[in-house]
Amino acid sequence: MDECQSAIPAHDGDLHVVAAAHHIVKALGTTKNLSDDLRKILIDLDAHLSLITSNIDSKGGKGFVEVEERLKRVERKIVIWESDRIMIWDSGPKEASDYLEAVDEVQTLIDSLRSLSMNENQKQKELLHRASSLLQMAMSRLEEELIHMLVKHKQQSGPTYMPSPSSQRNVVYNESVVSLDNESAKEALSKNSCSNECGEYIVDLVPEHVIPDIKSIAKVMFASDYGQEFCEAFIGVRKEALEQHFDILENGKLSIEDVLKMEWCSLSTEMNKWTWSMKIIFGVYLMSEKRLCDQVLGEFGSVNSFCFLEIAKTTILCLLNFGEAIAMGPQEPEKLLRLLDMYETLADLVIDIDALFSEDGGSFVRLEFHKLLEGLADSVKAAFNAFRVAVSSNGSLYPFPGGGVHPLSKYVMNYISMFPEYCSTLNLLLEDQHSDVASLVSEPQCGPTASLSTSCPMACHLRSITSSLESNLHKKSKLYKDEALQHIFLMNNLHYMVQKVKGSELRPFFGDEWIRKHNAKFQQHEMNYERVTWSSVVLLLKDDNPGSSSLSKSAFKEKCKGFSVAFEEVYKNQTSWCIPDPQLREDLRISTSLKVVHAYRTFLGRNPAHVDDKCIKHTVEDVEKLLLDLFEGSPRSLRNSRRMMKT
């Protein structure tokens, strides 16, 4: 027999007890400062006692009068809000509390009516139908209130920084464009300053004071078997909010085909956006979204993780699709830095991803991101190898004008100067290729006495790359017909490499021994230049008869003429040659001047009797000044030399 029916009093004295209990419950219900849980217990008990009384009355022919009266009272409280479109929770906490109490009472009446045996009681069926319809109406309203509340109180807080195009690293070798080699370029090529800016922190996606209101709606809807409707509404609003945040980060919803067809400039920008978006979405918004789900749905078991996954799924798939498209695409050298950024970002986040999606339902997310991490690792290796091949195989049909620093040297040295920022990652990913590369590098830094910095996998790979660059530069030097210009070219480029290593974070990875060795190399080319260019010129001043005190006037005049012709030929050619580094240029001028001017002054000093304007075209001072015009990279003739312009 039903619990309510078994509890029906059999005697008048019992009826008085029920009536007294009912009166006490009603009196307690009017007491202020009751907790929500206690108030709910009293409402349930009141409804239960009403049904006992109603059941007794029905036996006596009075029917469900009191139940109907109670239903009418709560019906008025609920229906009145259907005609007034002002949102309940906007009207104040009392109105919201009264509405929830009314909904609780309807649910209690429904439960109690269902607990009674129908026995073909038409009135009971009618009341149950009315109460169920009323509950459905209330649930629809609560769903509207929930959506309104979530939208109204949606927070837009969090990092809003987006890297500007000027901060993006695009280093692409092109002989028609001189590689960036100044302070602004160094800033542009440095690692994004925002890399650690976003970090991992949690923001309030919904204000803290609103959470209890959302939870109160959740409890009522779940208690009334409307949990699915609550979840659909909650997921819909929060999913839209997350996608709006994703759009703010300027991420296009690109297919794999779209990514594979992109030009490098556009693709580089999208890769940069992906890196930043991963940090913001996982490090901030999904962390915050998970906390919100825990706060609202934490007591509802697996519903919590289901809702979180549904909210995040679309955004996650967009990020996954782009990453997978990059990993499966061709890995050109220019992608290397972007790929390293992507790999490091995901490697830093993968622990958080595992924690966010630790439930069984999120296993596919964990699996896919771990697979993507492996794919990006392979892409980094492929791009690094492509970079090494590009350095060694880069060819030229024509010599670089003026013998200055070749764009390939600038490209390679500027590029590798950023590798130390990725030292740990490159050491990890290049470890399996370390022994092969170390055997190819002749410098002792890879030997048993090497330091940790100079012997690590990345260091050996760096020296392998610069070794390939040197070999390529030697090939390019052969394009010059003038042997002296070959030495100027090699001197310039080797000096540039040394200065780049000395003045950057590359130094620990190359070591002092490498620097000393390459200093000696470019200095040797400097001496070779002097030998090839000036030895024959100075030889023209050599005394053919060392035993005699001076030359005859005709012999003196002939030697002066030969020297002037040879000197002017060098001047005409080498003023167009270029030594970009001011200190290196000055050092070579001084060294040349000491050799040439000293020889010329000595020659004239041995023949003072013949020194006059008719025999001497250039004085010692003229030669000193004319040597200052060399290596400026702009052709000059003696007509527009500094000396001639002054005279």
pLDDT class for 10, splitting at 50, 70, 90?
very low
Return the number of other C-beta atoms located less than 10 Å from residue 301's C-beta: 9
From the list 315, 193, 196, 326, the residue with the least C-alpha distance to 271 is: 326
The amino acid at residue 20 is A
Structure tokens at 295: 């706060």
Question: Tell me, what's the pLDDT at 190?
Answer: 44
Provide the pLDDT for residue 155: 77
What residue spans define the domains of the chain? 12-59, 60-156+204-224, 225-393, 407-438+455-532, 541-628
Q: What is d(CA 240, CA 244) in angstroms, rounded to the nearest whole number?
A: 6
The C-alpha angle with vertex 613 and arms to 612 and 615, in degrees rounded to 5, equals 70
**Of the candidates 628, 567, 632, the residue with the CA atom closest to the CA atom of residue 645:** 628
Q: What is the pLDDT of residue 43?
A: 66
Q: Check: CB of residue 646 under 8 Å from CB of residue 587.
A: no
d(C-alpha 487, C-alpha 526), whole Å: 7
pTM equals 0.79
Per-residue confidence (pLDDT) for residue 139, from 0 to 100: 95
Tell me: the pLDDT tens digits for 75-134? 889 898 888 778 999 999 999 999 999 999 999 888 888 877 656 567 888 888 999 999
Answer yes or no: are the C-beta atoms of 281 and 315 closer than 8 Å.
yes
Out of 224-233, 414-423, 453-462, least confident range: 453-462
pLDDT digits (tens, 9 = 90+) for 574-599: 999 999 999 999 999 999 999 999 99
Task: Give the span between the Cα atoms of 492 and 478, in whole angstroms.
Answer: 15
Instruction: Work out the mean pLDDT of the chain and round it to a whole number.
Output: 83
- How far apart (Å, rounded) are the C-alpha atoms in residues 144 and 433? 61
Q: Work out the average pLDDT over 179-206.
A: 52
Dihedral angle, C-alpha 634, 639, 641, 646, nearest 10 °: -140
For residues 118 and 125, is the Cβ–Cβ distance under 8 A? yes
Distance CA 495, CA 372 (A): 42
Whole-number pLDDT of residue 22: 54
Residue 189 confidence class, pLDDT cut points 50, 70, 90: very low
Q: Which tens digit of pLDDT belongs to each residue from 515-526? A: 999 999 999 999
| 560 band by pLDDT with thresholds 50, 70 and 90 | confident
Confidence bin at 612 (pLDDT 50/70/90): confident
| Region 214-240 average pLDDT | 95
Question: Rounded to an integer, what distance in angstroms lies between the CA atom of residue 81 and that of residue 142?
Answer: 11
Q: Which two tokens stand for residue 634?
A: 């702009």
Q: Does residue 131 sit in helix, strand or coil? A: helix
Q: Which residue has the higher pLDDT, 82 or 477?
A: 477
pLDDT at site 494: 98
Distance CA 95, CA 101 (A): 10
> What tokens appear for 630 in the block?
């060399």
Across 346-381, b (16+ Cβ under 10 Å) vs e yields bebbbeebeebbeeeebeebbebbeebbebbbebbb
pLDDT digits (tens, 9 = 90+) for 317-337: 999 999 999 999 999 999 999
Which CATH number is associated with domain 541-628? 1.20.1280.170
Confidence class of residue 483 from pLDDT cuts 50, 70 and 90?
very high
